[in-house]
Chains A and B, each alone.
Chain A
Amino acid sequence: KQEVTQIPAALSVPEGENLVLNCSFTDSAIYNLQWFRQDPGKGLTSLLLIQSSQREQTSGRLNASLDKSSGRSTLYIAASQPGDSATYLCAVVWSPGGTSYGKLTFGQGTILTVHP
């Protein structure tokens, strides 16, 4: 069964700390992996998309890596700020035969709190 797991479920850090969120997936035949952020009661905001042929992507203070062989992705947030407080979700599109386009399988998310 194709599943996505995120650890930890919750994380609380002081402002300014660098942190890593983890995402693991059970099947290495992925098409891409996408990281999202969700604020309470709101929709999802796309942070980074990593195609299966890529090893990492960067946007500002965010860096996401992908290791298909080990079934893992990490989201690195540098110099965290209170405004980074949100739920972070990773989602995988698998591509057995190319029929999984548009179907995202999500992890349960990591609730991040950055306190001043």
Chain B
Amino acid sequence: KAGVTQTPRYLIKTRGQQVTLSCSPISGHRSVSWYQQTPGQGLQFLFEYFSETQRNKGNFPGRFSGRQFSNSRSEMNVSTLELGDSALYLCASSYGQGNTEAFFGQGTRLTVV
């Protein structure tokens, strides 16, 4: 059974640009959630999608957005990048109801210069 796949693994962007990250969940999982990990703040919740609907949202500015497609794949977009957006972005998938054990991808390392 394939795990959670995140692409790309590494990205370097310039301030002011936008970026799109992709996450393919484990087959059969309908929930995808996104997290930002930085040395100073640790792991912080961005948002969660379940069956194409955003079910939960963390305390991040509107520059951070996401969506989920009918095949449960999810994308996260960050517009007008800032230096402080440099982080490891992780996505997790789960069944989303009942059994909510979360499985994580390897992450996308975003560096903003």
The chain A residues found within 8 Å of chain B, CB to CB, are 31-32, 34, 36, 41-46, 49, 89, 91, 93, 99-109
Contact = CB atoms under 8 A, between A and B. Distances in A.
A41 B37 CA distance: 10
A46 B106 contact: no
Interface string B77-98: 0000000000010101010110
22 contacts: A34-B101, A34-B102, A36-B104, A43-B106, A44-B90, A46-B101, A46-B102, A49-B101, A89-B43, A101-B96, A101-B100, A102-B50, A102-B56, A102-B96, A102-B102, A103-B33, A104-B43, A104-B102, A106-B42, A106-B43, A108-B42, A109-B42
A102 B104 contact: no
Interface size class of chain B, counting residues whose CB lies under 8 Å from the partner chain: 20 to 34
A108 B50 CA distance: 26
